[in-house]
Amino acid sequence: MDPRLVNIDLPILGLCYGLQLIAQITQGKVKPATCKEYGTTFVSIDKATGILRGLNKREKVWMSHGDTVYAPPPSFEIMAHSKNCPVAAFKHKKKPIYGLQWHPEVIHTKNGAKMLNNFIFEVCKCEANWKMEDIIEKMVKEIRSAVGEEKAIIGLSGGIDSSVATALAAKAIENKLTAVFVDHGFMREGEPEQVRKTFQKFKLNFEVAEAQERFMHKLKKIIDPEKKRKIIGEEFIRVFEEKANIIDASFLIQGTIYPDRIESGFSKNSKKIKSHHNVAGLPSKIKFKKILEPLRDLYKDEVRKVARMLGLPKKLVERQPFPGPGLAVRIIGEVNNEKNRIIKQADKIVREEIEKAKLDNKLWQYFAVLTDTKATGVKGDARAYGYVVAIRAAESREAMTANFAKIPYSILEKIATRITNEIPQVTRIVYDITHKPPATIEWE
C-alpha cells in the first residue's frame, strides 16, 4: 500500500498480512517465523484498550501466517502476544491505527465479532444504520441496469448460491431470464431429479442440458485437479453459449461468491489456492457481452440470509455447499464411470447416516472422497484389494476457515461398515481430521 496512508488521521485496521504490512512500512521488524501458526492459537492480551476493550487476558483466536512481526515500529506499542508471536497485536501510540495478527472475521476467533465491533463503533464512531434489505435492492437494480432490454441466462446448479442469484435475477428481469441446469453427470444421487422438481415450480424459463457424456469425455486421462476444474469451467461456458445462441441471450449470470474469488486468486497479486470453475476456471474467450455476479462480495452465511429474505424454501437455504464441478473433484486422480458410481454410492451412505443421526444441521459439509490409493483388505475370508474412501465433515460459518467435526465413533463406524459392505470395490475408510487452514474443505 502507499506508505502515506499511515500519515492520515483515518482509522486503519490491519489483519494478518495487514499487520505485517503496516509494520514493514513503519520500520518494524518482520521476518519468516521460526514456528509458523495455523489454526487455533491462544494469545495473551497485554493492553485491553481500543479494539481489544473488554476482552479476557487470554483469548482463543484463529491464526494463519508464515511471517511474524518480531519488533513493533518505534511509534507503535504491543497489545497482545502468543507463545510463538511476540507482536500478535499492536496500536499506534497517537493515531487510530491497529493491527491484529489473527483473523477476527472468522467464527473460530471466539470474540472476533466483539473486536470488530470495537473498531467499527468505538474507534471509527460508525452508526449501525445499514440493513440487509439495502443490498437486495442494490443487486436487483444492478442486474436490471446491466441487462436492459436484452436477455440473460443463469447457470443454475440447485445450490444456495446459484439459487439466490436466480431469484434475484428473476426479480430483476423476469421473463428475459432463462435458467439452465447443466447435468454434467457428477451430481449426487437423486439430485438432478430434485433440482428439476424444485425449479420447475418457479416463474422462470427453466431448461436442462443433458451433458454427461461430453464432460466425461473431456476429463478422460486428466489427473491434475487444476486442469479438471479448468476443463469443467470451460465446458460449462460452452454449454451456456450454445443455449444462449438458441434464445439470443447476451449475458451470463453466475452465483459466484467472495470465497470463490479469494481462493481462485482473482487479482493479479493474489495467491491462488484452487481455481473455482466459475472464476479462474473460465476460458479466456467467451461469447457473452458480460458475466454478471451479483453475489460476488458476499460470504455463504450472508447468501443464506438473503435467501431467507427472498422466501426461498428452507430445505434449499440449509442445503450443504456442493462444488460446481460436483463429484469430479471428490474423485482423486482420473475420473471414470466406475469411480463415479462408487463415489455416488459412498456419498449417499454418508449423507443418510449423518442425517439419520440428526447431525446435518450442525455441520457445514459432510461427504465422501474417493482417493487414488488402494489397500489390502479381507472380505469373506478372502483377500480383497480395493479403494480407500475418506470421510470429510466440517464445521464453519463462511467457508474461509473450518474445523473438522468430531463425529461420534458410533456414527463413523456405521458409515464405514455400510460403505465396505455395500460397495465391493472399497476395502478401507479413513476420517479426515484436518482444519482449514492448512487444508481446504474439499480435497481437490
End-to-end CA distance of the chain: 33
The sheet carrying 152-155 orders its strands as 205-210, 177-183, 152-155, 251-253, 290-292
3-state secondary structure of 135: helix
Query: Which phi and psi angles does 304 have, rounded to 5°?
Result: -65, -35
3-state secondary structure of 252: strand
> Which residues belong to the active site?
16, 103, 105
- CA 51 centroid distance within chain: 28
Pick the closest to residue 87 from 31, 25, 7 (CA basis): 31
Cα angle: 241, vertex 242, 247; to 5 degrees:
95
Q: Are 150 and 175 in contact (CB under 8 A)?
A: no
3-state secondary structure of 84: coil
User: How many whole angstroms separate alpha carbon 151 and alpha carbon 174?
Assistant: 10
Cα angle: 299, vertex 301, 302; to 5 degrees:
65
